[in-house]
Amino acid sequence: MAAKSLAPADGLVWKIVKKAGDTVKQGEEIVILESMKMEIPVTAEIDGTITKLLVEEGQAVEEDDTIAEVG
Amino acid sequence: MTNDKPAIPPEWQEKLDQFEWRRARARELGGARRIRRAHDRGQLTIRERLAKATTSFHEIGEFATYDDVDALGNLRSQMPASYVMGLGTFAGRHVAIGGEDFTVRAGAPQTYLDRMKGGLGGFVEDLAHEYRIPLVMFMEGIGGDIAASGEKGHSYLVSSLSWGRSYELLGEVPVLAMVSGSSAGGTAGRTVLSHFSVMTKDSVFFAGGPPLVERALGKSVDKFELGGAAVATRSGAIDNLAEDEDDAIGQMARFLSYLPQNVWQMPPRTPSDDPVDRPIDEILGRIPTSNRRPYKATDIITPIVDVDSFFEIGKYWGKAVTTGLARMDGIPVGIVASNPMHLGGAMDAQAAEKQIRFVDMCSTFHLPIVYFADVPGFMVGPDAERANVVRWGMRAIQSLIEAEVPVVTIQVRKAYGMAVSATSDPDGLSLRIAWPTAEWGDLPVEGGVEAGFARDIEESADPEAYRAAINENFKNIADPWRTVEAFGVEAMIDPRETRVMVADFLNASLHRVHTDLGPQRRQWRIRP
């Protein structure tokens, strides 16, 4: 079962912490967004491997956009 | 022993037959075909909604009918009135309750049966007003329609219908509205004259539907794109979103559970089995000490209030503040919290509007307010200015000054700029309890130094070193402990002490609340 990690708020992709193929634990940061000088983490919903990473640094994203998928 | 009922006297039989025949007619609503269509859409009829929502219901106006005429004015038949209402028991409490019947001319009001004063809808509002009981409305209708002028034989000015009672009720009793299906025009207008509104996710809500938009603007729009739940709950027209009608009815019952029957009564305190001294050590893990790391407002609210007592209102709009009802030691309270997850918690026009609506409601029904503040200021930038952030922000300050309820503020982290005045009652006790993560000032040191000393920095021999020295100086001054020592903030506590301390202050504040019952007296007659 793949689990999508969604953007919790509008913002810019500030830092890609993990890449596709990396293994992650639930709650671990995959990407950090930046908005209003706040660093907003996008985290893994489940333990697994990142099957898709759908953003790159500098990209603008909106709340609830899918940032990554973990399977 | 026999179960036979006593014989009905013959002179009564005819009267009772007519009574039963008429009752059966009223129960038919707009006819089997239209009822089936509603069921096919997954919707209940108004009578089914009322049966589901209430444990007792005494209908008023059951036999009211209107003459159904065709487009040229020829009588087709008599139809039941398109509004069903009466005295009900909802969530264990007496309420005035009613709603449009969409199966009868799409819920449009008919001549002489208008929803306003003197009509059926008007009676249900009078019942709420005269008995001082909540009003619960099921909204599903198209508002006015042209057929009404056909029945009257002349067109009419909508202003001839009074809205007065609808506005008056907002200051007297809880008013709740549920939208399932379409709520348009006058029905939509009546929906927003409520303290709490909820719509099912498949419903639509608008001033005018797609045909009107097409004629007025030449634009063809899908009805969900125009006024679906995603639009109406993000604009703030509707407070909450529901999965289905059961969920919507449940949310109305939950909302009402925190409120009194009317403004002359205390909000209902319930016995709490959640001790106020319950350890809340998890709170430390939920507040990042780095002020660049956000958190969800709900994550810090839920450990502090009574377990499972937080009911969020307006989740999808004005998201820089989170609002909702909760209990502390069983006392119903209003919760407002900056939400750093959205705009870093900066108050934009929509967040200010949402806060005003919520604070006004809390003040009207005597619910003390607990405010979790973490606000970097009013939102700045072109979008914020175009949305008139300054006026809305100043109105938010005014609503808190005018609130006639105790306000306890927890200073979580940031408190910068004018927006801070919209996080407490600055002219009242202004009790602000800070956590050690708190920081405050006119402006944050980083930007503030740049703005205040640009010329000094530019003209110095070593601008970088001079800037660093000024920053260091002001960071020392901005150390929140200096403000605490100067009694510039009322208290500083370990966050884990918050629940027990706030509960005690709220308990003490009820002495004041008890003596402040009745309609709210507005301090000023106008908002800027």
pLDDT at B188: 93
With an 8 Å Cβ cutoff, are A9 and B342 in contact? yes
Strands B311-313 and B321-328, how do they pair? antiparallel
Residues 6+ away with beta carbon under 8 Å from B285: none
Chain A residues inside the 8 Å CB shell of B320:
none
Partner residue opposite A40 with nearest CB, options B341, B346, B376:
B341
Q: How far is B342 from chain A (nearest CA, A)?
A: 6
In chain B, the residue whose alpha carbon lies closest to the alpha carbon of A32 is B293
Chain A residues inside the 8 Å CB shell of B233:
none
Six-digit token string for B108? 């449009």
User: Cα separation of B447 and B246, whole Å?
Assistant: 51
Q: Are B294 and B338 in contact (CB under 8 A)?
A: no
User: Cα separation of B374 and B415, whole Å?
Assistant: 6
In chain A, the residue whose alpha carbon lies closest to the alpha carbon of B378 is A36
- Chain B interface test: which of A10, A29, A36, A61 (most B C-beta within 10 Å): A36
- Chain A interface test: which of B233, B315, B342, B413 (most A C-beta within 10 Å): B342
Q: How far is B135 from chain A (nearest CA, A)?
A: 36
User: Cα separation of B62 and B478, whole Å?
Assistant: 68
C-beta neighbour count of B499 within 10 angstroms: 23
Angle of helix B498-514 relative to helix B297-304, nearest 10 degrees, comes to 70
- Chain A interface test: which of B287, B292, B348, B414 (most A C-beta within 10 Å): B292
pLDDT at B467: 87
% residues pLDDT > 70 (chain B): 95
In chain A, the residue whose alpha carbon lies closest to the alpha carbon of B342 is A9
DSSP A23-64: EE-TT-EEEEEEETTEEEEEE-SSSEEEEEE---TT-EE-TT
| pLDDT band with cut points at 50, 70 and 90 for residue B116 | low
pLDDT of residue B113 exceeding 70, the answer is no
Q: State the count of interchain CB pairs (< 8 A) between A and B.
A: 27
User: Cα separation of B490 and B411, whole Å?
Assistant: 10
Nearest alpha carbon to residue B150 among B212, B83, B226, B70: B70
User: Cα separation of B91 and B56, whole Å?
Assistant: 11
pLDDT at B295: 92
Chain A: which residues have CB within 8 Å of chain B?
8-10, 35-41
With an 8 Å Cβ cutoff, are B342 and A40 in contact? no
How many CA atoms lie less than 13 Å away from B62 in the CB half-sphere?
Answer: 17
Average pLDDT, chain A: 92
Tens-digit pLDDT profile for residues B405-445: 999 999 999 999 999 999 999 888 989 999 999 998 877 77
For residue B313, the surrounding DSSP H or E stretch is: strand B311-313
Tens-digit pLDDT profile for residues B226-255: 999 999 999 999 999 999 999 999 999 999
Q: Are B172 and B130 in contact (CB under 8 A)?
A: no
Tens-digit pLDDT profile for residues B14-44: 889 988 988 888 888 777 888 888 888 888 8
pLDDT at A37: 79
Greater confidence (B208 vs B445) lies with B208
Chain B residues inside the 8 Å CB shell of A38:
292-294, 340, 344
Q: How far is B390 from chain A (nearest CA, A)?
A: 18
Tens-digit pLDDT profile for residues B342-375: 998 999 999 999 999 999 999 999 999 999 999 9
Partner residue opposite B344 with nearest CB, options A8, A38, A41:
A38
Residues 6+ away with beta carbon under 8 Å from B311: B251, B254, B255, B258, B324, B325, B326
Place of tokens 């609002």: B323
Residues 6+ away with beta carbon under 8 Å from B332: B258, B259, B267, B268, B269, B325, B326, B367
In chain A, the residue whose alpha carbon lies closest to the alpha carbon of B447 is A37
User: Cα separation of B244 and B199, whole Å?
Assistant: 8
DSSP B113-133: --SSTTSHHHHHHHHHHHHT-
pLDDT at B258: 98
With an 8 Å Cβ cutoff, are B294 and A37 in contact? no
% residues pLDDT > 90 (chain B): 64
Per residue, the 3-state secondary structure of B439-504, as one string, reads: EEECCCHHHHHHHHCHHHHHHCCCHHHHHHHHHHHHHHHHCHHHHHHCCCCCEECCHHHHHHHHHH
Q: How much is the average pLDDT of B177-201?
A: 94
| pLDDT band with cut points at 50, 70 and 90 for residue B103 | confident
Partner residue opposite B343 with nearest CB, options A8, A36, A39:
A36
User: Cα separation of B520 and B399, whole Å?
Assistant: 12
- What amino acid occupies position B252? M
Provide, for chain B, the percentages of residues in helix, strand and coil under a 3-state DSSP scheme, each rounded to the nearest 5. Answer: 40, 20, 40
Partner residue opposite B292 with nearest CB, options A8, A10, A39:
A39
Residues 6+ away with beta carbon under 8 Å from B103: B29, B30, B31, B34, B35, B37, B38, B45
B440 DSSP β-pair partners: B415
Q: Within its chain, how far is the Cα of B270 from the centroid?
A: 22
Q: How much is the average pLDDT of B64-85?
A: 80
pLDDT at B176: 98
DSSP B318-381: STTEEEEEEEETTEEEEEEEE-TTTGGG-B-HHHHHHHHHHHHHHHHTT--EEEEEEE--B--S
With an 8 Å Cβ cutoff, are B293 and A9 in contact? no
With an 8 Å Cβ cutoff, are A36 and B293 in contact? no
pLDDT at B291: 82
Tens-digit pLDDT profile for residues B283-335: 999 999 888 899 999 999 999 999 999 999 999 999 999 999 999 999 999 99
Six-digit token string for B381? 């930038």
Q: How far is A40 from chain B (nearest CA, A)?
A: 6
User: Cα separation of A51 and B463, whole Å?
Assistant: 49
User: Cα separation of B408 and B337, whole Å?
Assistant: 12
Q: Are A7 and A63 in contact (CB under 8 A)?
A: yes
With an 8 Å Cβ cutoff, are B344 and A8 in contact? no
Nearest alpha carbon to residue B336 among B349, B344, B319, A9: B319
User: Cα separation of A20 and A52, whole Å?
Assistant: 6
With an 8 Å Cβ cutoff, are A38 and B293 in contact? yes
pLDDT of residue B1 exceeding 60, the answer is no
Residues 6+ away with beta carbon under 8 Å from B466: B456, B457, B460
pLDDT at B145: 66
Chain B residues inside the 8 Å CB shell of A41:
293
Greater confidence (B272 vs B3) lies with B272
Q: How far is B382 from chain A (nearest CA, A)?
A: 14
In chain A, the residue whose alpha carbon lies closest to the alpha carbon of B375 is A36
Return the ∠ at Cα B413 (arms to B393 and B348), rounded to 5°: 20
User: Cα separation of B46 and B31, whole Å?
Assistant: 13
- The interface predicted TM-score of the complex, written ipTM, equals 0.76
Place of tokens 């001839």: B160
Q: Within its chain, how far is the Cα of B19 from the centroid?
A: 41
In chain A, the residue whose alpha carbon lies closest to the alpha carbon of B320 is A9
* Dihedral in degrees, nearest 10, Cα atoms B226, B230, B235, B236: 130
With an 8 Å Cβ cutoff, are A9 and B294 in contact? yes
- Chain A interface test: which of B293, B316, B338, B416 (most A C-beta within 10 Å): B293
Average pLDDT, chain B: 90
User: Cα separation of B83 and B96, whole Å?
Assistant: 13
With an 8 Å Cβ cutoff, are B292 and A35 in contact? no
C-beta neighbour count of B484 within 10 angstroms: 16
Strands B75-80 and B65-69, how do they pair? antiparallel
In chain B, the residue whose alpha carbon lies closest to the alpha carbon of A62 is B342
- Chain A interface test: which of B287, B291, B343, B350 (most A C-beta within 10 Å): B343
pLDDT at B39: 87
